[in-house]
């Protein structure tokens, strides 16, 4: 990662910071503020200073430092905000914003107001000077650039693509794949293997393609072929272009800030457009409506008795395609690399390491992974907590670690990746792993589980997420904040994600967050439960089954199982669970879902319809949360369908059967 890209990031972030600072000041100006407002301004100025130091923007650092000192005094109640002080800090923020602007062109230039404001700040800063610099974690050199992502080099690839017959049987279309590779592709079809007409078997595959792709990384290309893996032979041939392939450098040396080059022109290519997120939201909503509208038209046409006009049908397909295109484009406006978040987290880890006296190395993977901006914002708190936990509880204390064969320095890894329609974020440590015995003891002691409970490892791990669980007997100044993992879980769930733990004794623990790519749409299967139409998110579904009647077995009147390929899966009849009727487990279709802890359940439903992309509509704004229901959506006919939350339903069913064992048999 070159200095220029780092700088570009810095300036983009500065814009945000300046905005935060200005907003805080306007709150103070309208007399609507508290200590957090001042803290926010302080943090903004502090962050600007810290990063500016790394680039050697001395004027900026000097000014920010003075400004920060004054703010620190306000924060510590040593300086009251009166009209005069407000004027100075407002002017100071203007100068700071201007300095940031100027630094993009010439870091040595200062605005006219620089000196007078600086001296005014100095007047107010006197007594606070020492206090501020003592806790200064961001002395210019201390900003060591952490290991950043190694960007995959963009190269020329030739992909030899030869689909098997199964490829076509599964309904794949080579053209779709080619189209998803973008415009810069050149496709050559090899028809040499097509036999004479007499010998041609229409169910066989005879064609092979050679695709030249320009300007894509290998991962991007692989993504296009993600779903046909195993159905075709795919071979990547990278063109030899040594100039393009840089030897991957793992860590850039924390080089001393380079001497700023004078009058570097502001790079035009990195221009960004700043948009009020609300406008984007409106666009996303409208596009959502457009997709619903398309579904309405499709349904109306399908409902007509006449066989649909092929031209209309294909025009409708185009419509759907375009609507999706627009949707994706709009979504991408909101998408942002997680880099800024990860960089913030680096600081969290550093601070946690210092606070606990543990040597920690922080590694990040997949910083360029893009996710919805709102998700990024709402990930900051849970991630902060998880990383602190990883350092505080995950890694062994220095003396305990010395007794292992592991290196003295513990490693905490934060990674992000896209995995089939989801974003996976992992926080891993190489510490001692979860102490399951102690967790169980703790849970029993707190009355969270009965003392005779026999729990599997994953069930024990999940106790960490229970409200009221906290290994609080070893309160440190980090974890003594009274926030448990249940808060992490709640905040992740509220953005449609899931958290899970895996841990191996003495190897470490991994906390995995699975998030939807966006908050606005999801793929789901439309089902009916006792006359009501509902949607199950496809992410939770393993398969749908229409079983033979002797595959449904009764264990006890309230416990039925479904035999699936030799194993037995508990059946959860949805209608009685949701209070919509008392149908016993029937032969009707089942939906197999996987719970958070990887156990499998079969939902008994009345009917399974088609799979669709649906727009999520929150129920909580106007109504409130409903157990087992995550949200609602609007179907093609304008009716509302509820979106089921399989994990919550499984929990609900478990609670139901635990609280009142049904002794009455419903026939």
Q: How far is the CB of 529 from another protein (least distance, A)?
A: 9
DSSP state of 391: I
CB 639 within 8 A of CB 651: no
CB 424 within 8 A of CB 417: yes
495 binds another protein (CB under 8 A): no
Q: Is the Cβ of residue 230 or residue 467 nearer to another protein in the bound state?
A: 467
In this chain, which of 61, 463, 642, 650 binds another protein, going by CB under 8 A?
A: 642
Q: How far is the CB of 624 from another protein (least distance, A)?
A: 4
Q: How far is the CB of 642 from another protein (least distance, A)?
A: 7
576 binds another protein (CB under 8 A): no
User: 505: number of CA atoms within 13 Å, CB side?
Assistant: 5
SS3 call for 530: coil
Mark 283-322 with x for binding to another protein (rule: CB under 8 A) and - for no binding: --x--xx--x------------------------------
189 binds another protein (CB under 8 A): no
E strand or H helix at 533 = strand 532-537
In this chain, which of 380, 619, 654, 656 binds another protein, going by CB under 8 A?
A: 619
467 binds another protein (CB under 8 A): yes
5 binds another protein (CB under 8 A): no
In this chain, which of 107, 628, 636, 646 binds another protein, going by CB under 8 A?
A: 628
Rounded distance, CA 262 to CA 109, Å?
10
Rounded distance, CA 338 to CA 340, Å?
6
Q: How far is CA 629 from CA 500, 523, 640, in A?
A: 20, 16, 13
494 binds another protein (CB under 8 A): no
607 binds another protein (CB under 8 A): no
626 binds another protein (CB under 8 A): yes
484 binds another protein (CB under 8 A): no
Q: How far is the CB of 537 from another protein (least distance, A)?
A: 17
638 binds another protein (CB under 8 A): yes
639 binds another protein (CB under 8 A): yes
Site stretch for another protein (CB under 8 A), options 190-198, 517-525, 630-638, 659-667: 630-638
Q: Is the Cβ of residue 437 or residue 660 nearer to another protein in the bound state?
A: 660
Q: How far is the CB of 632 from another protein (least distance, A)?
A: 5
Q: Is 40 exposed, middle or buried, given 0-12, 13-18 or 19+ CB atoms closer than 10 A?
A: middle
Rounded distance, CA 650 to CA 497, Å?
16
Task: Let me know how many helices (H) and strands (E) the chain has, helices first.
Answer: 19, 22
In this chain, which of 149, 365, 580, 654 binds another protein, going by CB under 8 A?
A: 580
Q: How far is the CB of 619 from another protein (least distance, A)?
A: 6
Q: How far is the CB of 648 from another protein (least distance, A)?
A: 8
520 binds another protein (CB under 8 A): no
Q: How far is the CB of 627 from another protein (least distance, A)?
A: 6
Residues whose CB is less than 8 angstroms from the CB of residue 516 and which lie 6 or more positions away in sequence, other chains included:
421, 422, 423, 496, 497, 522, 539
Q: How far is CA 302 from CA 171, 313, 316, 341, in A?
A: 21, 10, 11, 47
Site stretch for another protein (CB under 8 A), options 312-320, 391-399, 445-453, 611-619: 611-619
Rounded distance, CA 360 to CA 409, Å?
5
**Can you say whether residue 496 is alpha, beta or left, with left for phi > 0 and alpha for psi between -120 and 50 degrees?**
left
The DSSP line for 451-488 is: TT----HHHHHHGGGSTT---GGG--TTTTTS--HHHH
In this chain, which of 337, 634, 654, 657 binds another protein, going by CB under 8 A?
A: 634
Token digits of residue 61: 């650092």
Nearest to 426 by CA among 501, 517, 508: 501
Rounded distance, CA 490 to CA 496, Å?
10
Q: How far is the CB of 292 from another protein (least distance, A)?
A: 8
605 binds another protein (CB under 8 A): no
Number of C-beta neighbours around residue 140 at 10 A: 20
Helical residues (DSSP H) of 446-535, grouped into ranges? 457-462, 485-494
524 binds another protein (CB under 8 A): no
* Contact positions vs another protein (CB under 8 A): 285, 288-289, 292, 467, 532-533, 578-580, 617-619, 621-629, 632, 634, 638-642
């Amino acid at each position: 990662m070159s200095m220029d890209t780092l700088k570009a990031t810095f300036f983009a972030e500065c814009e945000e910071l300046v905005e935060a600072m200005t907003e805080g000041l306007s709150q103070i100006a309208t007399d609507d503020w508290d200590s957090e407002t001042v803290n926010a301004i302080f943090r903004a100025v502090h962050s600007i200073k810290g990063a500016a130091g790394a680039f050697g923007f001395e004027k900026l650092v000097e000014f920010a430092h003075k400004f920060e000192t004054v703010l620190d005094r306000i924060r510590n109640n040593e300086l009251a905000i009166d009209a005069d002080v407000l004027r100075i800090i407002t002017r100071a923020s203007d100068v700071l914003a201007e300095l940031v602007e100027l630094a993009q062109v010439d870091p040595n230039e200062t605005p006219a107001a620089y000196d007078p404001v600086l001296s005014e700040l100095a007047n107010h800063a006197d007594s606070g000077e020492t206090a501020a610099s003592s806790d200064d974690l961001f002395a210019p050199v201390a900003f060591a650039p952490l290991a950043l992502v190694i960007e995959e080099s963009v190269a020329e690839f030739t992909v030899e693509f030869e689909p098997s017959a199964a490829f076509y049987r599964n309904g794949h279309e080579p053209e779709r794949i080619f189209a998803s590779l973008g415009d810069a592709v050149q496709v050559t079809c090899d028809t040499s293997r097509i036999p004479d007409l007499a010998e041609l078997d229409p169910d066989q595959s005879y064609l092979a393609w050679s695709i030249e792709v320009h300007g894509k990384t290998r991962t991007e290309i692989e993504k296009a072929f993600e779903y046909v893996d195993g159905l075709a032979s795919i071979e990547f041939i990278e063109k030899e272009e040594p100039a393009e392939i840089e030897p991957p450098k793992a860590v850039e040396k924390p080089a001393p800030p380079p001497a700023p080059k004078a009058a570097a022109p502001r790079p035009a290519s990195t221009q960004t457009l700043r948009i009020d997120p609300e406008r984007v939201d409106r666009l996303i909503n409208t596009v959502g409506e457009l997709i619903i509208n398309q579904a309405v038209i499709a349904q109306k046409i399908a409902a007509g008795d006449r066989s649909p006009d092929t031209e209309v049908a294909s025009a409708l397909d185009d419509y759907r395609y375009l609507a999706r295109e627009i949707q994706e484009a709009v979504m991408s406006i909101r998408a942002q690399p997680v880099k800024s978040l990860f960089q913030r987290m680096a600081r969290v880890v550093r601070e946690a390491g210092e606070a606990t006296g543990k040597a920690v190395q922080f590694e990040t993977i997949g910083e360029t992974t893009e996710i919805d901006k709102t998700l990024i914002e709402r990930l900051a708190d849970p991630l902060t907590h998880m990383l602190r936990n990883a350092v505080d509880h995950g890694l062994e204390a220095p003396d305990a670690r010395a007794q292992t064969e592991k290196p003295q320095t513990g490693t905490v890894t934060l990674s992000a990746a896209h995995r089939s329609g989801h974003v996976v974020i992992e926080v891993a440590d190489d510490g001692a792993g979860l102490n399951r015995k102690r967790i169980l003891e703790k849970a029993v002691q707190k009355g969270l589980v009965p003392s005779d409970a026999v729990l599997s490892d994953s069930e024990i791990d999940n106790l960490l997420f229970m409200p009221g669980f906290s290994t609080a007997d070893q309160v440190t100044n980090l974890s003594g904040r009274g926030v448990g993992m249940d808060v992490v879980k709640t905040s992740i769930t509220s953005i449609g994600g899931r958290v899970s733990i895996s841990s191996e004794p003495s190897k470490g623990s991994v906390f995995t967050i699975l998030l939807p790519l966006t908050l606005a749409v999801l793929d789901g299967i439309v089902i009916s439960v006792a006359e009501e139409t509902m949607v199950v998110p496809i992410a939770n579904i393993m398969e749908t089954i229409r079983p033979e009647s002797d595959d449904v077995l009764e264990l006890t009147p309230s416990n039925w199982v479904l035999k699936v390929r030799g194993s037995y899966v508990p059946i959860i009849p949805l209608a009685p669970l949701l209070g919509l009727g008392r149908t016993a487990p029937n032969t009707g279709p089942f939906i197999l879902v996987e719970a958070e802890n990887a156990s499998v359940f079969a939902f008994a439903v009345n009917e399974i319809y088609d799979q669709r992309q649906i727009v999520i509509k929150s129920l909580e704004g106007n109504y409130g949360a409903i157990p087992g229901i995550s949200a609602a959506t609007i179907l093609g006919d304008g009716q509302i369908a509820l979106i089921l939350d399989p994990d919550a339903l499984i929990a609900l069913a478990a609670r139901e059967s635990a609280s009142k064992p049904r002794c009455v048999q419903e026939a």
